[in-house]
A and B are shown apart, each in its own frame.
Chain A
Amino acid sequence: MPTLEIRDLHVAVGDKEILRGVDLTVGAGETHAIMGPNGSGKSTLAYAVAGHPKYTITSGAVLLDGEDVLEMSVDERARAGLFLAMQYPVEVPGVSVSNFLRSAITSVRGEAPKLRQFAKDLKAGMDALSMDPAFAQRNTNEGFSGGEKKRHEILQLELLKPKIAILDETDSGLDIDALRVVSEGINRFRSGDTGVLLITHYTRILRYVKPDFVHVFAGGRIVEEGGPELAEKLEAEGYESYTKASA
């Protein structure tokens, strides 16, 4: 049973402490939503777990199925089954989507997919997300609109089939149709024995992707936890009571 355990995680950028003791466990089949104001450290948590070199872990632990994630390189984490859909996916000039995805799949599965099978899977994945097949030949994320980048992230999620997915504001910048299409992608992924950590500002996506738990993030830590009803409360009342408390 895949489980992501984050224990008392402290993270700094330079000498500025941003995460101040985060505890969170995401089990198989669970969907956790993290909601919190701008600058509260949500992306920092996502990047730190993925292993972005800019973020320094000053203390704490991250375990995937009991294995120490912090000891792993970025690519080892991905191959171990962690996936981060980024808030701002990176444009990689000169590397086509198709080439990129084939390399990624080859790395994650440990063997190159048969070319015909790959082409078929890619086409099916793009169709399901209403992506124009022409995207396969374009450079990775280069010149993609905000919404196209997010669809591309979910395409990768579906093709790479990780154990645990962290989705950082995948819903931001999506119109209603795109939100539905992307949510369906996430739900297809959730139907497996997988865990999801969904970072968002809005309850909009939570109507499509129902969370089991909601965590409120403020000032670099989780300040309140509850069920789906907590999201409704946040939508109605905002974060003010939490930001005051954490300041």
Chain B
Amino acid sequence: MGLDTKPLSTLHEISSYNVADFPVPTGREEEWRFTPLSRLRGLHDGTAEVTGSVVVEVDAAPEATVETVGREDARIGRAYVPADRVSAQAYSSFEKATVVTVPREAVTSKPIVIGVRGTGGAGAGAAYGHILIDVGPMAEAVVVLDHRGSAVYADNVEFDVAEGATLKVVSLQDWDDDAVHVSHHHARIGKDATFRSFVVTLGGDLVRLSPSVSYTAPGGDADLTGLYFADARQHLEHRLLVDHTVPKCRSNVTYKGALQGDGAHAVWIGDVIIRAEAEGTDTYELNRNLILTDGARADSVPNLEILTGEVAGAGHASASGRIDDEHIFYLQARGIPLDEARRLVVHGFFARLLEKIEVPEIRERVLSAVEAELAR
């Protein structure tokens, strides 16, 4: 460890609903050093004017209830306390929150699709949002967060997964080229509950998404999967935090990304903390980046801090590299043109991940979006 390296567990100590509790980032902080602050359009320093517009529309399953509530609603902020300045800014600035409730033991008969559409464009100022997905005990739900259009948008999404419940979430960041999105997803996982998150980030000028997980009782199980495709000049950042504070929980983080074009930049931070009390934790995290052209850069930083002697399993892996020329040669030697060969290899790179998307329509859409990226 370098002299100025702080333990991971101390990096995530501040959390507050109050934006003033977080100093304005300078870019030198550990949690901001990869993010080009100048492209945040004032989301981080209080200069953004709240004149943007984002429309949230929910196509719910009949078993779920959907409400639009005000800031005062007691359920908001129960599962999550903002952990950085933009998150706190969003928390203190949103006007309406969307609350989706899946009652005890209900099983949704179709995915709950939450469309988040930037309608004002990136030049129109900032917009803030808040979403709470509340899944009752033993209930089962599938939620799709579908981000499109263009905006400068910061939001927090809380997933409150009660005892024995199962929540599967797909979050699609399919923004237009100029959008800026800074988002925090937090899952609070109850006893024996299951949480599956599949994040797909394709569009936007800058997307910084921080999925985090906490557990309230033993038996919690979280899979966090992600796929991203960064094009020229795009900054796509995913910052994961799994905080194991209780015994016998499981987490798996698997993020894979492809990058192509000048200035394409992907950042992946995988922080996993196993606290002293969290005996019997089982965790693994992996990030892989496939760099398709010169001029693209991937930063990948897995951090695993283990503060207990009793783990069931703990590991991490990270690798970023080029397409293997021998793979391309083999395919070309069978007559397959270069572009098609690259397409096959990139598909192959993502294939296992894509199989994990359980909503077929979304899987198809992601597949064709990846196709479109490759055709660029």
User: How many chain B residues touch A (Cβ–Cβ < 8 Å)?
Assistant: 23
Question: In the complex where A75-B337, A75-B338, A107-B340 touch, is A90 in contact with B332 (Cβ < 8 A)?
Answer: no
B329 & A100 in contact (Cβ 8 Å cutoff):
no
A90 & B336 in contact (Cβ 8 Å cutoff):
no
A90 & B335 in contact (Cβ 8 Å cutoff):
no
Name B335's contact: one of A92, A99, A104 (CB within 8 Å).
Answer: A104
Chain B residues with CB under 8 A of A3: none
- Name, among B327, B330, B347, B349, the residue most crowded by chain A CB atoms within 10 Å (CB to CB): B330
A78 & B340 in contact (Cβ 8 Å cutoff):
no
Chain B residues with CB under 8 A of A75: 332-338, 341
A84 & B333 in contact (Cβ 8 Å cutoff):
yes
B348 contacts chain A at the CB level, 8 A cutoff:
yes
B69 contacts chain A at the CB level, 8 A cutoff:
no
Name A92's contact: one of B325, B331, B337, B352 (CB within 8 Å).
Answer: B331
B335 & A94 in contact (Cβ 8 Å cutoff):
no
Q: Closest CB-CB distance, A104 to chain B, in whole Å?
A: 4
Chain B residues with CB under 8 A of A95: 331, 344-345, 347-348
A94 & B332 in contact (Cβ 8 Å cutoff):
no
A103 & B333 in contact (Cβ 8 Å cutoff):
no
Chain B residues with CB under 8 A of A103: 331, 334, 336, 340, 344
Q: Closest CB-CB distance, B334 to chain A, in whole Å?
A: 4
A92 & B348 in contact (Cβ 8 Å cutoff):
yes
Residue of B nearest to A91 (CB): B327
A156 & B334 in contact (Cβ 8 Å cutoff):
yes
The distance in angstroms between the C-alpha atoms of A92 and B332, with both chains bound, is 12
B329 & A74 in contact (Cβ 8 Å cutoff):
yes
A53 & B329 in contact (Cβ 8 Å cutoff):
yes
The distance in angstroms between the C-alpha atoms of A164 and B331, with both chains bound, is 18
The distance in angstroms between the C-alpha atoms of A104 and B337, with both chains bound, is 9
Q: Closest CB-CB distance, B15 to chain A, in whole Å?
A: 39
The distance in angstroms between the C-alpha atoms of A193 and B327, with both chains bound, is 30
The distance in angstroms between the C-alpha atoms of A140 and B334, with both chains bound, is 13
B351 contacts chain A at the CB level, 8 A cutoff:
yes
Chain A residues with CB under 8 A of B325: 53
The distance in angstroms between the C-alpha atoms of A218 and B147, with both chains bound, is 64
Q: Closest CB-CB distance, A110 to chain B, in whole Å?
A: 10
B326 contacts chain A at the CB level, 8 A cutoff:
yes
User: How many chain A residues touch B (Cβ–Cβ < 8 Å)?
Assistant: 28
The distance in angstroms between the C-alpha atoms of A77 and B329, with both chains bound, is 12
Interface residues in A113-170 by Cβ distance below 8 A to B read: 139-140, 156, 160
B331 & A100 in contact (Cβ 8 Å cutoff):
yes
Q: Which label, helix, strand, loop or mixed, suits the secondary structure of the B interface?
A: helix
Q: Closest CB-CB distance, A214 to chain B, in whole Å?
A: 26
Interface residues in A56-84 by Cβ distance below 8 A to B read: 73-75, 77-79, 84
A160 & B332 in contact (Cβ 8 Å cutoff):
no
Residue of A nearest to B338 (CB): A75
Question: In the complex where A75-B335, A103-B336, A107-B336 touch, is A94 in contact with B330 (Cβ < 8 A)?
Answer: no
Residue of B nearest to A84 (CB): B333
Residue of A nearest to B337 (CB): A75
Q: Closest CB-CB distance, B339 to chain A, in whole Å?
A: 10
A28 contacts chain B at the CB level, 8 A cutoff:
no
Chain B residues with CB under 8 A of A89: 330
Residue of A nearest to B343 (CB): A103
A74 & B347 in contact (Cβ 8 Å cutoff):
no
- Name, among A50, A75, A77, A86, the residue most crowded by chain B CB atoms within 10 Å (CB to CB): A75
Residue of B nearest to A103 (CB): B336
Chain A residues with CB under 8 A of B329: 52-53, 74, 90
A174 contacts chain B at the CB level, 8 A cutoff:
no
B340 & A94 in contact (Cβ 8 Å cutoff):
no
Chain B residues with CB under 8 A of A140: 330
A108 contacts chain B at the CB level, 8 A cutoff:
yes
A173 contacts chain B at the CB level, 8 A cutoff:
no
A238 contacts chain B at the CB level, 8 A cutoff:
no
Q: Closest CB-CB distance, B117 to chain A, in whole Å?
A: 33
A73 & B344 in contact (Cβ 8 Å cutoff):
no
Chain B residues with CB under 8 A of A77: 333
Q: Closest CB-CB distance, B348 to chain A, in whole Å?
A: 2
B334 & A93 in contact (Cβ 8 Å cutoff):
no
Q: Given A77-B333, A94-B345, 19 other A-B contacts at CB below 8 A?
A: A73-B338, A75-B334, A78-B333, A78-B334, A84-B333, A86-B333, A90-B326, A92-B348, A93-B327, A93-B349, A95-B331, A95-B345, A95-B347, A99-B344, A100-B334, A103-B334, A104-B335, A104-B336, A108-B334
A/B interface sample: 30 pairs, CB < 8 A: A52-B329, A53-B329, A73-B332, A73-B338, A74-B332, A75-B332, A75-B333, A75-B334, A75-B341, A78-B336, A79-B335, A89-B330, A90-B327, A92-B327, A92-B344, A94-B345, A94-B349, A94-B351, A95-B331, A95-B348, A100-B334, A103-B340, A103-B344, A104-B331, A104-B334, A107-B335, A108-B334, A108-B335, A140-B330, A160-B335
Nearest 3 Cβ contacts at the A-B interface = A94-B348, A78-B335, A104-B334
